Amino acid sequence: MPKTAGRELQYVKGIGPQRAAALAEAGIRTVRDLVFFLPRAYIDRTTTTTLRSLALMLHKQERLFDERPSEASAERLFYSEVTLVVRIESLREHTYRGNRQMLIATISDESRASGAVIFWNRLDYYRRVLQPGQLYILAGRPTVDRRGVVTFHHPELEPVDPDEEELYRVGRILPKYRLTQAMRQAGLTQSRLRTIVQHAIELVLPTLSDPLPESLRRTYNLPSLAEALQQLHFPTSAEELQRARHRMKFEEMFLFQLLLALRRRGVQRERGLVFNPKSVHARWLLERLPFELTRAQRRVLWEIANDLTSGHPMNRLLQGDVGSGKTIVAVLTMLVAVDNGYQALLMAPTELLAEQHYHTICRLLEGSGLTVVQLVGGQNPRLRREILQRIAAGDAHIIIGTHALFESSVTYHRAGLIVIDEQHRFGVLQRARLRELSRTSLGTDGVAPHVLVMSATPIPRTLSMTLYGDLDVSILDELPPGRKPVITKVVFESQLPQVYEFIRQQLRAGRQAYIVYPLIEPSDKLQLKAATEHYEQLQREVFPEFRCGLLHGQMFWYEKEEVMRAFARGEYHVLVATTVIEVGIDVPNATVMLIQNAERFGLAQLHQLRGRVGRGNEQSYCFLATRDHFRYHWHRAEDEPRERLAAIIRLRTMEQTTDGFRIAEVDLKLRGPGDLLGTRQSGMPEFQYTDLITDGDIISEARRAAADLVRQDPFLQRPEHAQLRRALTERYGDAASLLDVA
Ligand code: ADP
Ligand code: MG
């Protein structure tokens, strides 16, 4: 790193010890840091709105909302934070509910309309800092009050320096930095910071090296890093600013995709077992199946067969919406491994699901002569010892289990294939551990097992490109024939009697039903009591002539198994359950699901739950019951706190679509990618510039560019790629090892 860039801040003109300390507190320690301390927003006439146009827009939206409440309009309101330049005209206080105070600022702007800002908390602070007559940049979510006045509650208000007022008037684009309290106290205003950044740029830019090679920049029409940084701090036009931002995103995605491409290379160079894809048992099973494979299933099997014969380990993600038939694909693949003389492992995230797989597979393979065993926690020690012996001796062909599969006491005998179901439920390290155990069982010559991971979590394309960039992806994009989309309806609690009547009709017609309660914290005794009480009440008062079963997280695995089995055999008509049924359960005769307190579930969870019905040929139904309270807010969501609004959007989305990918996209918007996948689990880094939702095009472009580059220079050894290599290690030094497993 060049000397100037690493130089301490306080030697930059305009920064003394106090300011240096304030900046350091925000993580800005060197001159280089300062140059990369980018404005978080820009203010100009194209990004700000006026009170007048807001009033018009809100009025229109209000009508739209009342006439035709749609998810789209709710979403728009949900995200629409606006920025405007306003003057505070006056401040007044108002007492409500006897003794509570609020502070109301009347604001105006150049459109000569007026509006209001209301503060409920920290009044002392706002009384002190807000100055009537002063110009502010205001950012917040607008609402209209009863008289049609545009109103903001606790918006962000940033005073505008008088000289900026001038710049803004002449139409300049003004950067807006994130100022901390400490920075302000050290006398740093937006305009002072601008001056300081200007000095820093003069010091740093000439010495800055660009990680992106010039040829790449030319191909993709990207400005250099120095040019981009200059524009980001001091934009000369909206177009140039746009180009600069594009470049930063591109670089960020390019480095990440490069990392993935290199890792993929690494896996491809590993030696894998070469299987003969012609499997006697697979053929035998196919002949016995009561259905034909779908086209998608055949295509995926063909892709898998190619992997198994390639000489390199398979590293494939099988993505398919709930009910798309992933299990049979997994079983057929395992049979290939078995017929080649290897053990096949199938790992599921819960005991219940492992049980179910065990039974399904035992049933499928009845009479095949193959041995299927299961390994889960809590098995009796004698049985467990016996199973472990059979695994070690190679008498067990297919081994199904939970986390218990990678405990250190397990010794496999030539485990050549690992299948992981609902892979998002597992941590990256757990997968790596299982892979290592199998590798050990294959002997010492370093051959790696084949890995197939399956997921029903529908992931938007931009995300899967990012997250699974190092896996080959197969998609089951076709449901078995005859499936009808589940009819979904939001109902309010007062309508439950009608829903129960509907369920009774279904039961009389020979169908079965799920009634699901949220049990957020499985260890919570009170909630468990609630579920049990609900169950008893349902049995006694609602479904006296039918049999209800109860399934909850605190039952022992064999108790759960017994209840599930009885339900599958049709001995229970209704299964009252907590979310333990969420994953994978397959009872095609169940055609109704009622989800209680549906507003408490996340979208992905709701989608998974709903996937438990609609698995046979009968029309299925899903009722999402929510509080009556919501009914009154259904059409007036704009006043709602974020959380409630998000819940309404979730429920509406479920009503409107059964498309897992569409649902995942909404989920992604509501929660952000980190939450959706659990950033820690997924090992996905946080991105600074790129928005995984809206920057799909850049992601694809960067991915293509990365693939091209790795093809030309697989080890980044060319001199013109030295900077690139350095940037890659700098950024992903330790993440690289985490990302190494997937
Ligand atoms: P998922 O992809 O959610 O794991 P499953 O593998 O559990 O789905 O399959 C759902 C149901 O569809 C099962 O009952 C399975 O037997 C059935 N099924 C799978 N493939 C087909 C097919 N090609 N035709 C008809 N039914 C199928
Ligand atoms: Mg499944």
Flag whether pLDDT at 211 surpasses 50.
yes
> Using CA positions, which residue lies closest to atom 10 of ligand 1?
323
Q: Which pLDDT band, with edges at 50, 70 and 90, does 443 fall under?
A: confident
Residue 457: the pLDDT is: 67
Flag whether pLDDT at 36 surpasses 70.
yes
Averaged over 710-725, what is the pLDDT? 86
Pocket test for ligand 1, best of 328, 360, 419 (most atoms within 8 A of CB): 328
Index of the ligand 1 atom closest to the CA of residue 293? 23
Question: Closest ligand to 610 CA?
Answer: 1
Count, in order, helices (H) and strands (E) of the chain.
31, 22
Model confidence pLDDT, tens digit, residues 731-741? 876 444 433 33
CA–CA gap between residue 405 and residue 681 (Å, rounded): 19
Question: Is there an atom of ligand 1 within 6 Å of 297 CB?
Answer: yes
Residue 224: the pLDDT is: 96
Model confidence pLDDT, tens digit, residues 386-434? 999 999 999 999 999 998 898 878 999 999 999 998 766 665 567 778 8
CA–CA gap between residue 304 and residue 472 (Å, rounded): 10
Flag whether pLDDT at 672 surpasses 80.
no
Name the DSSP letter for residue 733. T
Q: How far is the CA of 419 from the centre of ligand 2 (A)?
A: 12
Between 90-94, 358-362, 683-687, the lowest mean confidence (pLDDT) is in 683-687
> Using CA positions, which residue lies closest to atom 20 of ligand 1?
325
CA–CA gap between residue 669 and residue 300 (Å, rounded): 30
Question: Closest ligand to 421 CA?
Answer: 2
Flag whether pLDDT at 233 surpasses 50.
yes
Model confidence pLDDT, tens digit, residues 288-310? 999 999 999 999 999 999 999 99
Index of the ligand 1 atom closest to the CA of residue 615? 11
Q: What is the 3-state secondary structure (H, E, C) of 666-708?
A: HHHHHHCHHHHHCHHHHCCCCCCCCCCCCCHHHHHHHHHHHHH
DSSP labels for 408-447? TT---SSEEEEEESSGGGS-HHHHHHHHHHHHHHT-SS-P
CA–CA gap between residue 371 and residue 391 (Å, rounded): 10
Flag whether pLDDT at 71 surpasses 70.
no
Residue 639: the pLDDT is: 46
Question: Is there an atom of ligand 1 within 6 Å of 455 CB?
Answer: no
| Closest to 473 (Cα-Cα) out of 294, 668, 260 | 260
Question: Is there an atom of ligand 1 within 6 Å of 327 CB?
Answer: yes
Residue 630: the pLDDT is: 66
Question: Is there an atom of ligand 1 within 6 Å of 293 CB?
Answer: yes
Residue 86 makes CB contacts below 8 A (sequence gap 6+) with 51, 107, 108, 109, 115, 135, 136, 138
Name the DSSP letter for residue 310. S
Pocket test for ligand 1, best of 324, 327, 359, 365 (most atoms within 8 A of CB): 327
> Using CA positions, which residue lies closest to atom 19 of ligand 1?
325
3-state secondary structure of 588: coil
Question: Is there an atom of ligand 1 within 6 Å of 324 CB?
Answer: yes
3-state secondary structure of 452: strand
CA–CA gap between residue 15 and residue 616 (Å, rounded): 70
Residue 284: the pLDDT is: 97
Q: How far is the CA of 329 from the centre of ligand 1 (A)?
A: 9
Residue 676: the pLDDT is: 43
Q: Which pLDDT band, with edges at 50, 70 and 90, does 263 fall under?
A: confident
Averaged over 622-640, what is the pLDDT? 66
Q: How far is the CA of 603 from the centre of ligand 1 (A)?
A: 22
Q: How far is the CA of 425 from the centre of ligand 2 (A)?
A: 13
Q: How far is the CA of 313 from the centre of ligand 1 (A)?
A: 27
> Using CA positions, which residue lies closest to atom 17 of ligand 1?
325
Q: Contact at 8 Å (CB) between 449 and 313?
A: yes
Model confidence pLDDT, tens digit, residues 492-544? 888 999 999 999 999 999 999 999 988 645 456 666 667 788 899 999 999 99
Residue 409: the pLDDT is: 84
Question: Closest ligand to 350 CA?
Answer: 2
Residue 708 makes CB contacts below 8 A (sequence gap 6+) with none
Mean pLDDT score across all residues of the chain:
83
Averaged over 323-351, what is the pLDDT? 94
Kindly list the distances between the CA atom of residue 93 and the CA atoms of 41, 127, 163, 724, in Å, as whole numbers in the listed order.
Answer: 31, 10, 31, 58
Question: Is there an atom of ligand 1 within 6 Å of 511 CB?
Answer: no
pTM above 0.75, yes or no: no
Flag whether pLDDT at 251 surpasses 90.
yes
Q: Contact at 8 Å (CB) between 215 and 227?
A: no
> Using CA positions, which residue lies closest to atom 12 of ligand 1?
325
Name the DSSP letter for residue 161. P
3-state secondary structure of 494: helix
Q: Contact at 8 Å (CB) between 143 and 118?
A: no
> Using CA positions, which residue lies closest to atom 18 of ligand 1?
325
Residue 64: the pLDDT is: 42
At 232, the amino acid letter reads: L
Question: Is there an atom of ligand 1 within 6 Å of 588 CB?
Answer: yes
Question: Closest ligand to 328 CA?
Answer: 1
Residue 121: the pLDDT is: 86
* Candidate ranges 49-53, 241-245, 657-661; pick with highest mean pLDDT: 241-245
Question: Is there an atom of ligand 1 within 6 Å of 291 CB?
Answer: yes
| Closest to 31 (Cα-Cα) out of 186, 206, 163 | 206
CA–CA gap between residue 204 and residue 572 (Å, rounded): 73
Flag whether pLDDT at 35 surpasses 70.
yes
Q: Which pLDDT band, with edges at 50, 70 and 90, does 169 fall under?
A: low
Q: How far is the CA of 107 from the centre of ligand 1 (A)?
A: 61
Question: Closest ligand to 583 CA?
Answer: 2
Residue 460 makes CB contacts below 8 A (sequence gap 6+) with 661, 664, 665, 668, 692, 693
Residue 9: the pLDDT is: 80
CA–CA gap between residue 727 and residue 373 (Å, rounded): 48
* Candidate ranges 104-108, 132-136, 561-565, 584-588; pick with highest mean pLDDT: 104-108
Flag whether pLDDT at 49 surpasses 70.
yes
Averaged over 67-85, what is the pLDDT? 53
Q: Estimate to the nearest angstrom the gap between the alpha carbon of 133 and the chain centroid.
A: 45
Question: Is there an atom of ligand 1 within 6 Å of 616 CB?
Answer: no
What proportion of the chain, given as a percentage, has pLDDT over 70? Answer: 83
Residue at token pair 């010495």: 207
Q: Which pLDDT band, with edges at 50, 70 and 90, does 2 fall under?
A: very low
Helix 280-288 × helix 326-339 angle, to 10°: 150
Q: How far is the CA of 609 from the centre of ligand 2 (A)?
A: 12
Index of the ligand 1 atom closest to the CA of residue 292? 23
Q: How far is the CA of 328 from the centre of ligand 1 (A)?
A: 7
What token pair was written down for 130? 């807000």
Beta-sheet pairing, 142-144 with 150-153: antiparallel
DSSP labels for 4-40? HHHSBGGGSTT--HHHHHHHHHTT--BHHHHHT---S
Residue 570: the pLDDT is: 93
Pocket test for ligand 1, best of 288, 289, 291 (most atoms within 8 A of CB): 291
Kindly list the distances between the CA atom of residue 129 and the CA atoms of 83, 123, 292, in Å, as whole numbers in the listed order.
Answer: 20, 10, 72
Residue 216: the pLDDT is: 95
Q: How far is the CA of 293 from the centre of ligand 1 (A)?
A: 9
Length of the chain: 742
Between 56-65, 274-283, 551-560, the lowest mean confidence (pLDDT) is in 56-65
Residue 582: the pLDDT is: 52
Q: Which pLDDT band, with edges at 50, 70 and 90, does 628 fall under?
A: confident
Residue 419: the pLDDT is: 96
Question: Is there an atom of ligand 1 within 6 Å of 586 CB?
Answer: yes
Beta-sheet pairing, 472-476 with 487-492: unpaired
CA–CA gap between residue 466 and residue 700 (Å, rounded): 9
What proportion of the chain, given as a percentage, has pLDDT over 90? Answer: 36
Question: Is there an atom of ligand 1 within 6 Å of 155 CB?
Answer: no
Flag whether pLDDT at 571 surpasses 90.
yes
> Using CA positions, which residue lies closest to atom 23 of ligand 1?
293
Index of the ligand 1 atom closest to the CA of residue 320? 2
> Using CA positions, which residue lies closest to atom 24 of ligand 1?
480
> Using CA positions, which residue lies closest to atom 5 of ligand 1?
325
Residue 679: the pLDDT is: 40
Question: Is there an atom of ligand 1 within 6 Å of 294 CB?
Answer: yes
CA–CA gap between residue 24 and residue 10 (Å, rounded): 10
Q: Contact at 8 Å (CB) between 12 and 200?
A: yes
Averaged over 239-258, what is the pLDDT? 93
Residue 65: the pLDDT is: 41
Q: How far is the CA of 614 from the centre of ligand 2 (A)?
A: 14
> Using CA positions, which residue lies closest to atom 26 of ligand 1?
480
Q: Contact at 8 Å (CB) between 311 and 274?
A: yes
Index of the ligand 1 atom closest to the CA of residue 476? 2
Between 43-52, 471-480, 629-638, 666-675, the lowest mean confidence (pLDDT) is in 629-638
Index of the ligand 1 atom closest to the CA of residue 324? 2
Tell me the β-bridge partners of 373. 399
Phi, psi (deg, nearest 5) at residue 12: -75, 140
Question: Closest ligand to 346 CA?
Answer: 2
Between 19-33, 40-54, 492-506, 663-677, the lowest mean confidence (pLDDT) is in 663-677
Question: Is there an atom of ligand 1 within 6 Å of 615 CB?
Answer: yes
